[in-house]
Structure 1
Amino acid sequence: MLFHVSIEADRPQHVASVIAELWDGKALPFPPVGLGSWVAFAGDDRSTLIEVYPRGTELHEAPGDHDAVGVTAAHRRYTATHMAIATPLDVDRVFAIARREDWPCKVCTRGGKFRVIELWVEGGQLVEVLTAEMQREYLATVTIENWERMLAAAPRMAA
């Protein structure tokens, strides 16, 4: 079960606010890790959230039982880190938000099995947004059993 994940952004407050809007949640400051960090709350029964740090922030281990600390390092634009999030909004509303923000956005089909909206936050951070219908497709497709069947059908993929 995923409770939270963190990403970087050029404008953390703004990005957290837009993600909160996609969730119909709330964005708030997140000072424990560093100045300028924000958090988007989904407002769901799991308290799901996304921490948004200033671009270039790295988390480093602290000695003893102290919390990890945020350290500013080199800025990078793209990362392999991405996430899929649910939204109560429809496709048109997600696209309207993307247009308003001038963020690339398109509907894609993953493996011919389920659709996602690829939303490129600030043009560099992939967030897959799933409407209610897309969530049903995803949940019917992405199971351990289906994954094992896919690997068995194409053994070279497993290597």
Structure 2
Amino acid sequence: MLFHLSIAAHDPKHVAEVIAEMWRGEAFYFPPVTPGSWIAFAGDDRGTAIEVYPIDTVLREEEGDADSFGERTGESRYTATHAALATPLSREEIMGIARREGWPAKYRKRGGAFGVIELWIEGRQMMEMLTAEMQSEYLAAMTTDNWRAMLKAGEPA
């Protein structure tokens, strides 16, 4: 189960606020890792959150009995990191937010099994937004039994 994840953005405050809006949650300043960071809370019973760091932040291990820290290093445009996020909003509402923000977004059917709205935050960070209907499709499709059956049938891994 996912409690939180972190991403990087050019405008961490704005990105956290938009993610919080899509969850009907709330965004706050989040300085523990590196200054300029923000966090979007879903407002659910699990404390689901996304930490949004300045674009050029990487996490580094600290020696000894100390927490890891964020270090500013230089910019990177794209990342392999993404998440599928549940939203109470409709497809039309998500697409409207994407248009307002100037962020590319389109509906896609992953493997013919479940739909997602492929949303590109700041045109560089992909998030898959799942409406209630898409969440039901996802939960029905993404099971370990279904994955085993697909692999046994010879589908590419």
Whether the TM-score (by the shorter chain) exceeds 0.5 is yes
Deviations 1:114-150 (A, max 9, x none): 0000000000000000000000000000000000111
For 1:108 and 1:11, how far apart are their aligned partners in 2? 26
State the identity as a percent: 60
Offset of 1:63 from its aligned partner? 1.6
Which letter does structure 2 place at the counterpart of 1:150?
A: M
For 2:69 and 2:114, how far apart are their aligned partners in 1? 38
Which letter does structure 1 place at the counterpart of 2:64?
A: G
Q: Give the structure 2 partner of residue 64 of structure 1.
A: 64
For 1:12 and 1:50, how far apart are their aligned partners in 2? 11
Q: Give the structure 1 partner of residue 6 of structure 2.
A: 6
TM superposition score normalised by structure 1: 0.97
> Which residues in structure 2 correspond to 1:67-106 (within 5 Å)?
67-106=67-106
Offset of 1:64 from its aligned partner? 1.8
For 2:74 and 2:153, how far apart are their aligned partners in 1? 42
**Residue 21, structure 1, aligned to residue 21, structure 2:** yes
For 1:68 and 1:145, how far apart are their aligned partners in 2? 37
Which letter does structure 2 place at the counterpart of 1:36?
A: G
Task: Give the root-mean-square deviation of aligned CA atoms.
Answer: 0.8
> Which residues in structure 2 correspond to 1:138-153 (within 5 Å)?
138-153=138-153
Figure out how many residues of one structure are paired with residues of the other and give that number.
157
Q: Which contiguous aligned blocks of 4+ residues in structure 1 show a shift greater than 6 angstroms?
A: none
For 1:150 and 1:4, how far apart are their aligned partners in 2? 29
Q: Give the structure 2 partner of residue 108 of structure 1.
A: 108
For 1:65 and 1:38, how far apart are their aligned partners in 2? 25
Which segments of 5 or more consecutive residues in structure 1 lack a partner in the other structure? none
Which segments of 5 or more consecutive residues in structure 2 lack a partner in the other structure? none
Offset of 1:110 from its aligned partner? 0.4
For 2:143 and 2:47, how far apart are their aligned partners in 1? 24
